[in-house]
Amino acid sequence: MRKVVLRMNVSLDGFVAPTSGAHDWVFHSFDDELEMYTVDQLWQVGTHIMGRVTYHDMAEHWPSSTSKLAPPMNEIPKVIFSKTLKETKWNKSQVADGDIAEEIYRLKQQPGKDIMAHGGAGFAQSLTRLGLIDEYRLIVNPIAFGSGLPLFKDLSDAINLKHLSAKVFKKGAVLHTYQPVRSVEHPQKSGQG
């Protein structure tokens, strides 16, 4: 079964964007090494998933971009989760308007490479609350906002994560890879208190 990998840039204090929603801050620590690593990671997935807001930003940017990131973003199939979007204009993209958990379960059952989830904050929060993320790849940038759009919000319970790896890039960004620790319910043993 394919896994869902959430790849997000976050500030040192855990925000995916300042209150304004601006994203230009991620370029302060983006270097050639991080670019090459990101391109490699993008080619290792078989499907991109995102919410409507991120779709609008990306569909406007990537088709005409000359960045090394553009080919995997344009050529790999994309599924956009939205209740209001009816059609897409970005190459190899389609809308999923059903139950998000059911749609992602269906995608995970398909053969192929893993699924990479892109933000924004609301989409990532929904995936987290529903327990749909199998791996977090968080690029922690050397910047703090003090307030903004958090990656984790309105959780009913704490999420325990197992740290799998860390990679430091030249300009100070650190990629942390985590796996959620899924709790296993143990059947009660009768007669024991």
Q: Where are the domains of the chain?
A: 4-16+26-158+165-174
pLDDT band at 184 (very low <50, low <70, confident <90, very high): low
Q: What mean pLDDT is reported for the chain?
A: 91
Q: In the CATH scheme, what is the homologous superfamily, with its name and number, of domain 4-16+26-158+165-174?
A: Dihydrofolate Reductase, subunit A (3.40.430.10)
Q: Residue 88's pLDDT is what?
A: 93
| Structure confidence at residue 187 as a pLDDT band (50, 70, 90) | very low
Residue, of 62 and 155, whose pLDDT is higher: 62
Q: Is the pLDDT of residue 189 over 50?
A: no
Give residue 190's pLDDT band: very low, low, confident or very high (50, 70, 90): very low
6-26 pLDDT per residue, tens: 999 999 999 999 988 888 888
Nearest one of 43, 46, 42 to 111, comparing CA atoms = 46
Q: What is the DSSP string of 105-168?
A: HHHHHSSSSEEEE---HHHHHHHHHTT--SEEEEEEES---SSSEESS-S-SS---EEEEEEEE
User: Considering only CA atoms, which of 185, 174, 117 is closest in space to residue 151?
Assistant: 117
Asked whether residue 175 carries a pLDDT value surpassing 50, the answer given is yes
- Give 162's contacts (C-beta < 8 A, 6+ positions apart): 178, 179, 180, 181
pLDDT at 182: 80
Q: What is the pLDDT of residues 41-79, one digit of tens each?
A: 999 999 999 999 999 999 999 999 999 999 999 999 999
- In the chain, % of residues over pLDDT 70: 94
Neighbours of 150 (CB within 10 A): 17
Residue 7 to residue 41: CA distance in whole angstroms: 10
pTM of the model: 0.89
Residues ≥6 apart with Cβ < 8 Å to 65? 73
Rounded distance between C-alpha atoms, residue 173 and residue 38, angstroms? 12
Q: In the predicted model, is pLDDT for residue 188 greater than 50?
A: no
pLDDT greater than 80 at residue 157: yes
Query: Residue 108 has which token pair?
Result: 């995970």
In angstroms, the CA 60 to CA 161 distance is 34
Q: Are 106 and 37 in contact (CB under 8 A)?
A: no
Can you give the pLDDT at residue 154?
87
Scored b (16 or more CB within 10 A) or e, 1-24 reads ebebbbbbbbbeeebbbbeeeeee
Confidence at residue 20, expressed as pLDDT on a 0 to 100 scale: 86
DSSP character at residue 85: -
Question: d(Cα 98, Cα 72) in Å, to the nearest integer?
Answer: 26
Residue range 147-176: mean pLDDT, rounded? 94
